[in-house]
Amino acid sequence: MRTNEPLLLAGSPVAAERRAAVQADVEAFRRNRGYAPGLAVVLVGRNAPSAVYLHQIIKGCTKVGIDGRVVEIPGRATSTGLRREIDRLNRDPRVAGIIVQMPLPKHISLRAVIDTLDPSKDIDGLHPLNAGLLALGYDGFVPATAKAAVELLKAYKIDVDGMNAVVVGRSNIVGKPVARLLLGEHATVTTAHTHTHDLPGLVKTADLVVVAAGVPGLIKGSMLKPGAVVVDIGINVVGGNIVGDVEYDSACQVVSAITPVPGGVGPLTNAILLGQLMHAARGTGPALQVHQALQRMAGA
Ligand code: NDP
């Protein structure tokens, strides 16, 4: 048990710096082009958790001068209808970035929708081209939450090089990209999921634990190695409160650094998303890498 307080990995101060940089980029873009960069958030049906997240994204856009718009599609829409709408946004020159809000209704093929996104507008890194670039260690659009988790560690000067890292969760949007990013930072990475034997035993070996399971209280202080660093990506509503996947109070007795929930990865996720939108709008950074990859694949 530790006697001093762990370092709190708060996302808001880091996010504020990122947003200020994005705001300056947006102003320069408007001066040059005469219009605001556009972000389209596609919402299929009415889903409460998505709606809250969506509201935060649009609010973040407004604050920095981005033209954020919600494209509402009725929940009864078919995969074909949704693909048609995404294709229309792909061709709209004022729309620099497109996000499709998850989860989609069960009758819609997630894969068919993701494959339709223009990879150079796919600012949340879901398209197979962007996922492939990340898997190969090349630059492209990376899921913003995963990037936020790793950027938060960097902002607090936590060097993961050589650390034993356990990522709990293997979704395409969070767990897998976090694991790939940590590998890129030279951590020794193990990914855990529901079929993992002895999760507590595995977590006990970890210098860094990143949790994205969506299970409140999954990771308890007693499971953690003393001095471990913990990044809690989970967002769960329990008794009207937002909590993570880590039992915060017991973890604080053991760890050297930990993200609060809310206030950790979440605020930085939105700032990173807007930064990625500006790359898409200007055709720089990951957008340029995607463009060049597409050209090479077309043999141009
Ligand atoms: P998914 O449900 O898609 O994936 C959850 C993953 O956790 C799965 O791989 C699952 O394993 C694993 N898992 C679930 N229960 C356990 C368990 N008991 N033991 C070990 N592994 C388990 O969720 P997402 O990846 O989309 O999201 C994860 C969490 O992150 C959620 O709480 C979500 O709200 C939050 N989130 C936070 C964001 C932010 O900005 N902070 C943004 C996006 C998501 P298996 O594959 O075997 O089923």
For residue 92, the CA-to-ligand 1 centroid distance in Å is 33
* Alpha-carbon torsion angle 32, 38, 39, 44, nearest 10: -170
> Is any atom of ligand 1 closer than 6 Å to the C-beta of 193?
yes
For residue 176, the CA-to-ligand 1 centroid distance in Å is 10
For residue 235, the CA-to-ligand 1 centroid distance in Å is 9
Q: Whose CA is nearest to atom 47 of ligand 1?
A: 194
Q: What is the pLDDT of residues 158-174, one digit of tens each?
A: 999 999 999 999 999 99
> Is any atom of ligand 1 closer than 6 Å to the C-beta of 173?
yes
Cα–Cα distance, 158 to 141 (Å, whole number)? 23
- Is the whole-model pTM more than 0.75? yes
> Is any atom of ligand 1 closer than 6 Å to the C-beta of 56?
no
- Counting Cα atoms < 13 Å in the Cβ hemisphere of 68 gives 22
Average predicted confidence (pLDDT) for the chain: 95
Closest listed residue to residue 231, CA positions, set 280, 269, 279:
269
> Is any atom of ligand 1 closer than 6 Å to the C-beta of 194?
yes
DSSP state string for the chain? --SSPPEE--SHHHHHHHHHHHHHHHHHHHHHHSS--EEEEEEES--HHHHHHHHHHHHHHHHHT-EEEEEEE-TT--HHHHHHHHHHHHH-TTEEEEEEPSSPPTTS-HHHHHHHS-TTT-TT--SHHHHHHHHHT--S---HHHHHHHHHHHHTT---TT-EEEEE---TTTHHHHHHHHHHTT-EEEEE-TT-S-HHHHHHT-SEEEE-S--TT-B-GGGSPTT-EEEE---EEETTEEE-SB-HHHHHTT-SEE--SSSSHHHHHHHHHHHHHHHHHHT-HHHHHHHHHHHHHTT-
Cα–Cα distance, 286 to 294 (Å, whole number)? 12
For residue 171, the CA-to-ligand 1 centroid distance in Å is 6
For residue 172, the CA-to-ligand 1 centroid distance in Å is 10
> Is any atom of ligand 1 closer than 6 Å to the C-beta of 168?
yes
- Counting Cα atoms < 13 Å in the Cβ hemisphere of 81 gives 11
Q: Confidence band (pLDDT; 50, 70, 90) for 30? A: very high
Pocket test for ligand 1, best of 142, 166, 173, 194 (most atoms within 8 A of CB): 194
User: In terms of pLDDT, which residue wins out, 3 or 181?
Assistant: 181
Pocket test for ligand 1, best of 53, 145, 193 (most atoms within 8 A of CB): 193
Strand partners, 7: 257
> Is any atom of ligand 1 closer than 6 Å to the C-beta of 262?
no
Instruction: Tally Cβ neighbours within 10 Å of residue 63.
Output: 14
In ligand 1, the atom with minimum distance to the C-alpha of 269 is 40
> Is any atom of ligand 1 closer than 6 Å to the C-beta of 15?
no
Q: Does 295 score more than 80 pLDDT?
A: yes
> Is any atom of ligand 1 closer than 6 Å to the C-beta of 91?
no
Cα–Cα distance, 104 to 117 (Å, whole number)? 15
Cα–Cα distance, 274 to 289 (Å, whole number)? 18
Q: What's the rounded mean pLDDT across residues 36-40?
A: 98
For residue 77, the CA-to-ligand 1 centroid distance in Å is 26
Q: Confidence band (pLDDT; 50, 70, 90) for 2? A: low
Q: What is the pLDDT of residues 39-61, one digit of tens each?
A: 999 998 876 567 777 888 999 99
Q: Does 95 score more than 70 pLDDT?
A: yes
